[in-house]
């Protein structure tokens, strides 16, 4: 029996196999394609008890999920019609443990929570910071620790940058991100202190924001630290990280508030941690520094 995780990309639906060697080094892509399905159990074996618990919670068919393939590596990208990244592999590993399919629909990051609220998705598997504000609308099953930080061009004379020193600077963020919230709040604080507001530039996709940095249209980009480190380490990198980490916090899978799927996914992820598959996935993408030993729910610090 073959199992696939199906991804609905933009306006075109395609069945895509997510294999253990499916990740790549690309950072962006578009389009959709079809590949041959691989045998179930790429990352882990099915757990019969968890599969039964999933059914008891009312989920008898494929789980309806969502991700954003424009976030970029190490999280998720579309490489010529083939999804790749940590979010994709982690979703496949969960499907392995639960013995089910996970249908992931590609959508914009700022549409993820509204999609959960509208009942279009059971879960989002996309690098989303768990914070108190978002918890008003969704529950989180946390799976990694991350933070936010600034990047500038490698030859920039900016050697240090913090929220407090961002007043008057032109800073880019991705729409719907925690960084957009941080910089919007900081801009208000700047004005209240009699300083110039942050010149906030909001982009729909990370690739657009990164291009704005490297082309000199904005002074800096504020994004997630694990991704910043991943991109800075690339051989052809044109950026550098500056300043201290901002608001270290868990990143999680988001689910509708009160969903019965929450404890099931928490147990499934914990099994992946205990069996070693979880760490293998994080090591594959160079983000093991953010690994958890205990999977938490709604563990936001602020």
Looking at the structure, tell me whether residues 27 and 133 fall in a common domain. yes
21 and 111 Cβ atoms separated by less than 8 Å: no
Please report the pLDDT score of residue 252 as a whole number: 97
Q: Is residue 95 part of a domain?
A: yes
Please report the pLDDT score of residue 302 as a whole number: 87
Looking at the structure, tell me whether residues 105 and 176 fall in a common domain. no
Q: Is residue 301 part of a domain?
A: no
Please report the pLDDT score of residue 35 as a whole number: 26
User: Containing domain of residue 160, as a range?
Assistant: 147-248
Rounded to 10 degrees, the C-alpha dihedral 19/24/26/28 comes to: 20
Looking at the structure, tell me whether residues 257 and 242 fall in a common domain. no
Q: Per DSSP, what are the bridge partners of residue 104?
A: 7, 65
Please report the pLDDT score of residue 25 as a whole number: 30
User: Based on the structure, what is the number of domains in the chain?
Assistant: 2
Looking at the structure, tell me whether residues 137 and 172 fall in a common domain. no
Please report the pLDDT score of residue 80 as a whole number: 87
Looking at the structure, tell me whether residues 168 and 274 fall in a common domain. no
Please state the pTM of the whole predicted model: 0.78
Please report the pLDDT score of residue 4 as a whole number: 35
- Each residue's pLDDT tens digit, 242-299: 999 999 999 999 999 999 999 999 999 999 999 999 999 999 999 999 999 999 999 9
The C-alpha atoms of residue 10 and residue 13 are separated, in whole angstroms, by: 8
Looking at the structure, tell me whether residues 95 and 23 fall in a common domain. yes
Looking at the structure, tell me whether residues 208 and 135 fall in a common domain. no
Please report the pLDDT score of residue 41 as a whole number: 61
Q: Reduce the secondary structure of 177-246 to three states and give it as a string.
A: CHHHHHHHHHHHHHHHCCCCCCEEEEECCHHHHHHHHHCCCCCEEEEEHHHHHHHHCCCCCCEEEEEEEE
Q: Is residue 31 part of a domain?
A: yes
Please report the pLDDT score of residue 17 as a whole number: 31
Looking at the structure, tell me whether residues 230 and 112 fall in a common domain. no
Please report the pLDDT score of residue 11 as a whole number: 27
Q: Which residues contact 280 (CB under 8 A, 6 or more apart)?
A: 43
Looking at the structure, tell me whether residues 224 and 240 fall in a common domain. yes
In the predicted model, residues of the chain with pLDDT beneath 70 are 1-41
Please report the pLDDT score of residue 79 as a whole number: 87
């Amino acid at each position: 029996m073959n199992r696939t995780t199906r991804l609905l990309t933009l306006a075109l639906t395609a069945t895509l196999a997510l294999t253990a060697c499916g990740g790549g080094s690309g950072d962006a892509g578009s389009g959709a394609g079809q590949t041959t399905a691989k045998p179930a159990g790429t990352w882990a074996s099915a757990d019969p008890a968890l599969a039964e618990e999933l059914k008891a919670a009312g989920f008898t068919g494929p789980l309806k999920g969502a991700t954003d393939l424009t976030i970029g590596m190490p999280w998720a990208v579309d490489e010529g019609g083939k999804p790749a990244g940590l979010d994709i592999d982690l979703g496949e590993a969960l499907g392995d443990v639960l013995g089910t399919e996970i249908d992931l629909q590609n959508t914009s990051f700022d549409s993820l929570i509204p999609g959960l609220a509208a009942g279009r998705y059971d879960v989002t598997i996309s690098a989303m910071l768990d914070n108190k504000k978002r918890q008003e609308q969704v529950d989180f099953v946390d799976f990694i620790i991350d933070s936010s930080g600034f990047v500038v061009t490698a030859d920039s004379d900016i050697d240090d940058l913090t929220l407090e020193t961002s007043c008057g600077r032109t800073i880019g963020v991705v729409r719907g991100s925690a960084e957009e919230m941080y910089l919007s709040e900081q801009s208000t604080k700047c004005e209240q202190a009699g300083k110039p507001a942050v010149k906030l530039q909001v982009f729909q996709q990370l690739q657009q924001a990164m291009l704005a940095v490297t082309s000199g249209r904005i002074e800096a980009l504020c994004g997630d630290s694990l991704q910043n480190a991943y991109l800075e380490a690339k051989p052809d990198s044109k950026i550098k990280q500056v300043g201290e980490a901002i608001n270290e916090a868990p990143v999680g899978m988001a689910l509708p508030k009160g969903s019965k799927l929450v404890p099931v996914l928490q147990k499934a992820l914990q099994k992946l941690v205990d069996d070693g598959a979880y760490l293998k996935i994080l090591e594959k993408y160079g983000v093991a520094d953010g690994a958890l030993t205990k999977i938490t729910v709604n563990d936001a610090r602020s």
